[in-house]
Amino acid sequence: MKIVINLILLLITVALGYMLVNSIREPIAFQEAKDKREQAVINRLMDIRKAQEMFRDIKGGFAPNFDTLQYVLENDSFAIIKIEGDEDATGADAQAIRRDTTYKSALDSIRAMGLRLDSLRHVPYSNKMFDIAADTLTYQQTLVSVVEVGTKRSYFMGKYADDKYARYDNSYNPNTTIKFGDMNSPKLAGNWESK
């Protein structure tokens, strides 16, 4: 009988030890996965922002979808204007200003930056695509271009896309969006940058 009680106590001890180790391991695994996955998404959003800025330099506004963004950056060029003379000059000196325009392929710049246009639309750790919107609006009596690109955290957090993991990180909410830009004002900052 004594052996049976000792075996039961040993099994209870092993079970409690397992539960203790698991309770320590789960928050660490969650934080590591969260940091790794969010950083991959942030890196991709920063690449999309660079591509959108290049698109704006070419077209004067932002791309409303990834197909347009990719097409323009693969097939269009940047205008590089070289100005010789003083633009602020008046009179006879103003006539001495010379402008020389050359064009540089946007694709060359994309390749130099290491951007892969065909994969920009895909959310890392997911089979989803980023939401993208672009338009113009009147902001402080000026017509400006605006863009917003983002995705819900639940799309890329995998098994951690559950509210129960908020107990390990008070700021974690899988239903919030990680994004850059704003459709209501002309800013390109990412919401991860305001932390």
List pLDDT tens digits, range 84-98. 766 666 666 556 677
Tell me the pLDDT tens digit for each residue of 45-80: 999 999 999 999 999 999 999 999 999 999 988 777
Output the six-digit token pair for 32: 């590591």
pLDDT for residue 88 = 67
Q: Which residues are CB-neighbours of 155 under 8 A, at least 6 positions away?
A: 123, 126, 128, 161
pLDDT for residue 77 = 80
pLDDT for residue 92 = 60
- Does the pTM surpass 0.85? The reply is no
pLDDT for residue 14 = 82
Mean pLDDT by 10 residues, the chain (195 residues): 82 82 82 94 96 92 94 85 71 67 81 88 95 92 93 94 88 93 92 78
Distance CA 111, CA 113 (A): 5
